[in-house]
A and B are shown apart, each in its own frame.
Chain A
């Protein structure tokens, strides 16, 4: 075993933290308060190369390995970038662009990946439906082939980047009787007749990410927009899980370090009863709890990333363990951070309350904690 990062990886992480602190973090609180997507910050992520980090250079990426890609996500969290922007980045790069890259034709790759990697276009993924959340197979959005077109009908919900996406990877049934095996994936572009998105859903946290419903009303798309073959959609959605359990969880790990650093700074300066509050054991305990969570979560996330770099088929049990741990065990430390800040922690001026709200997504998004427990108990 070897838990070390290369010097290059560590230097890159530092660079991202420096970049994010300068270019993105100063804008976070204002956008969070207004629940607005930060287009400029997103574009800067693209210019810095983060949005397409793991794609080959010929497609506008840097050809980075998975570990480095995950480090980038951790660095954004550690710098203080909000969960809304890192979620938007995750949905864009891993759920949309990577699905096109991994399963698309050369023509599809060339058309979409460079623009997604640069941030010129924004991507989203449409999987969840009002009555098909954890139970994906019960989706009802249909795709009927008519000549050289598919006609999509149905709706999706809770789609990150939905209102702002230029490109969507949409899952729909081409053979409803086959359940999972009847699900196919399609590329749908913004402006396609019959395709529309709903207004931004007001959420508890990750507020800067824009989330909406997607509607398909006799939406005709070219047959060439099918990703892979008919019936392969469910497996494609499963493959995004590897990214979901590593790169999308990484910002939560980074956020733990950010919280700890903020708590340390506050505890060293805030005085009560004539002493810095950092001198009280109760405050030290909170800081310790945050660090312990971060250290524990980091190992799980990088294990998934390392296995992916080795080309191993995903270990669903280990992936579910990582998701369950980050989801359920991240709540207590973010609560500790709010309480350490006291009244200030409850106010938007200090960002602990935002991180607390953002962290509530961890046990829900990308498969709830209960679903992870179902997976683990079936596989053990």
Chain B
């Protein structure tokens, strides 16, 4: 047992913070301008590629062997998420979801052509999963592909695709002959159209839109048939949940630290408001939720690498706890800041708006609890 990150991991976290934090302060990464977002994400990826960050938790990436895989990534996500939640969502969707599709199931050629530039920070990926009629992962995917010789023709529609307006490549989940598959589609492929960036409550700097595929033709070699295809959606949700857990840590860190600093400097009745028990106690509850979430997230991440037999259920437990804790911590931070927190654009207000996303994205907390219950109850459904 060991509850410490290694010196090497701490150094990585500091390096990432140094690379990103000042630059983030000079650029509004939570802006809603899609073109500006793309420019900033490409800059951020380029910066992050100077560290080991983009290779963490990637299968057989080699470069990150001396790190602790997903556990290190969880600590690093917390750092980036606290600086900019939108940046984290974009980078992680590209790297850890699109990238892990390639690193886990991609061919050698796909790894060479797409994964290598991705982890060098030169390519942005997006993943099309959610569909209008697909609210939970048990529903059948309506996006389909047909294979005719060396060509695959794909049709369908995806919603809430993170990075869609800026992505170079898409991995689109669908079916071929009733079996789950992933279609790798380049951005300028005829038949692929990208919707406008949608306005969102939180994560405003992340470019999210619909994508439509209308008889979109791609080489058949760009169709990925995952091993254990029936587990495709579950695996994608697992990865998404892991990102949302990391994002929640970042939101809590940012909100807690902002509220704590405010409480130490803002005076009422001649003394800092932290001196009042109602404020001090609220901060104590926030820190308790934050620290408990950290350990929960690290444990779930550790289990992915070291003890995966209960990975899905434990990750869902961590996802429920961390995302709900983020909602509570950011709401309490808003109360501490009072009117100052209600002003648009401050860290706490942004974290508060983003926290809501974690509750329904990935596997929603409601469905998560059902699945955790199912897991405990065994075969009985």
Contact = CB atoms under 8 A, between A and B. Distances in A.
Nearest to B296: A296
B143 interface: no
B372 A284 contact: yes
A318 B320 contact: no
B317 A324 contact: no
Contact of A377 (B283, B307, B369, B377): B283
Nearest to B377: A278
Interface stretch (B77-85, B161-169, B284-292): B284-292
Interface residues of A, number: 45
Given A370-B281, A380-B284, A2 B373 contact: no
Nearest to A6: B1
B5 A1 contact: yes
Contacts of B299: 3, 295, 299
B127 to A, nearest CB: 27
A250 to B, nearest CB: 14
Contacts of B296: 295-296, 299
Given A264-B376, A295-B314, A279 B381 contact: yes
Given A285-B369, A288-B369, A370-B281, A302 B291 contact: no
Given A268-B377, A300-B295, A288 B320 contact: yes
Contacts of B5: 1
Residue among A267, A283, A376 with max Cβ neighbours from chain B (10 Å): A376
Given A292-B321, A295-B296, A299-B292, A2 B302 contact: yes
A245 interface: no
Interface in B275-318: 277, 280-281, 283-285, 287-288, 291-292, 295-296, 298-299, 302-303, 306-307, 314, 317-318
Contact of A3 (B285, B291, B302, B318): B302
Interface string A355-380: 00000000000000010111011101
The listed residue with most B CB atoms (<10 A of its CB), out of A281, A291, A324, A374, is A291
A344 to B, nearest CB: 18
A93 to B, nearest CB: 21
B380 interface: yes
15 contacts: A1-B2, A1-B5, A3-B299, A4-B1, A264-B376, A281-B369, A285-B370, A287-B372, A288-B369, A288-B370, A291-B317, A292-B320, A295-B299, A303-B3, A373-B284
Interface of B: 1-5, 68, 71, 260, 274, 277, 280-281, 283-285, 287-288, 291-292, 295-296, 298-299, 302-303, 306-307, 314, 317-318, 320-321, 368-370, 372-374, 376-378, 380-381
Interface of A: 1-5, 67, 260, 264, 267-268, 276, 278-279, 281, 283-289, 291-292, 295-296, 299-300, 302-303, 306-307, 317-318, 320-321, 324-325, 370, 372-374, 376-378, 380
